[in-house]
Amino acid sequence: MLYYLQTIPGLGPLAWQEVQQRLSTSDTESLSDSASIRLVPRRNDIVLLRYAGNPRALLNLRVSEDVFAVTVRAFHVVADERGLRQMYAATRETRAVGDALTAWKKALNTRRVPATFRMVVRAVGSHRFTRRQIGQAVADAIKTGWPGRWRQVDEDADVEIWATLLEQELLCGLRLSGADMRQRGTKTHLPAALRPALAAAMVMLTEPAPDDVFLDPLAGTGTLLVERAAAGPFRQLYGSDINTDAVRAMLVNTRKIHGHITCERWDARQLPLPDASVDKIAMNMPFGKQVAPDADLPALYREILAEAQRVLRPGGRLVALVSDARMLNTARTAAARQLRPGQRQRIEVLGMGVTICVFDR
Ligand SMILES: C[S@@+](CC[C@H](N)C(=O)[O-])C[C@H]1O[C@@H](n2cnc3c(N)ncnc32)[C@H](O)[C@@H]1O
């Protein structure tokens, strides 16, 4: 059965890494050895994968934001009017609808038969037809060709069908995930809060281990702490922030975490923790005026990194998210040379480029 996962632009390879780590041991036979990644610029990375297990397992992935069962694939779609006819024909003739509906029922644990659908259409490349026309072609084919009776609606649909035309390739999917997969039930938001899927990717890069002492010294609303707790057992979680409102939100958002967790109002430049007492640090560096109005960011970065280096044990790992990776590296060179730079991953969040930087002590 063919599925696709959707995540934040730049996170596709890490979403696939999570699939391999979390699903391959229990379902080795059912996963293909390789995924293929498609890019919808500024919107999503799409990871196509073959999976024979229960789709509910896919809904538990954390680096992905949405899961779809593939209903139509068409290649060599031409850029003029004939392309619309090709997409109509491919949608009418697809044989994947039955399996996709079975996957939908399993994912939602329902016996219901969906009767209404909402179209979401995206197009990448230059074509001589509009997104609206693509949606029309696909919707007409669904109404006339798919088993059962289908009615297109704009709201409160039983299912969503997403049609994405990537240059010459059409990919249609039946959405299995709801908004909760993306939002993870976060209770309290502040402006600079991380998207949970990005936090999950950062946590994955810390290589979680059961005896981890994990720290986020810029924890804000606690998104990284929630994702660390979801990633598996730990010895101790520390979350801190200089802002009282943030600590309050952090306490609310981390309330359901079982195990040793400490949320405090601390200054990341002066943590009340002993030298070499932390195994893993993940943090989202302050950036822009929104978070630090008159801050001298280069100085702040130097002091935060020096303190991270002090509390991190030799062999420990730091994963930092920054909008200005060069500024972070300058700070490291000046104040935290024991932090050795490793993997970097460039991501795009709401049109803004950010980088995940990994350092080992
Ligand atoms: C980009 S936000 C982190 C958001 C967080 N990851 C979340 O999901 O909500 C940076 C945070 O650093 C905090 N901060 C700025 N300077 C700090 C300092 N010296 N010590 C501790 N926290 C600080 C801000 O209050 C803000 O909450």
> For residues 2, 5, 11 and 13, what is the CA-based torsion angle, rounded to 10 degrees?
-20
pLDDT grade for 101, boundaries at 50, 70 and 90: very high
For the chain, domain boundaries:
2-181, 185-360
Query: Which residue of 8, 241, 247, 266 sits with most ligand 1 atoms within 8 Å of its CB, as the best mutation to test the pocket?
Result: 241
User: Can you give the pTM of this predicted structure?
Assistant: 0.94
pLDDT tens digits for range 17-45: 999 899 865 553 444 555 588 989 889 99
Rounded to whole angstroms, the Cα distance separating 333 from 345 reads 20
3-class SS of residue 313: strand
Of 53, 133, 153, the closest CA to residue 86 belongs to: 133
Q: Find where tokens 């979403």 sit.
A: 15
Question: Counting atoms of ligand 1 from 1, which one is nearest the CA of 321?
Answer: 1
User: Residue 30 has what pLDDT?
Assistant: 40
pLDDT score of 29: 42
> Which overall architecture, per CATH, does domain 2-181 show?
2-Layer Sandwich (3.30)
Residues within 6 Å of ligand 1 by CB: 190, 192-194, 217-221, 223-224, 241-243, 246, 267-269, 284, 286, 291-292
Whole-angstrom distance, CA of residue 63 vs CA of residue 17: 9
Q: Does position 110 have pLDDT exceeding 60, yes or no?
A: yes
Yes or no: say if 263 and 257 are a contact pair by the CB < 8 Å rule: no
Contacts of 230 (CB under 8 A, 6+ apart): 62, 200
| Nearest CA among 226, 220, 304, 209 for reference residue 261 | 226
Token pair for residue 41?
């610029």
Split at pLDDT 50, 70, 90, the class of 252 is: very high
Same fold, 2-181 and 185-360: no
- From the centroid of its chain, how far is CA 63? 4
Domain 185-360: CATH superfamily is: Vaccinia Virus protein VP39 (3.40.50.150)
Query: What is the model's pLDDT at position 249?
Result: 96
**Residue 28 confidence (pLDDT):** 38
pLDDT of residue 149: 93
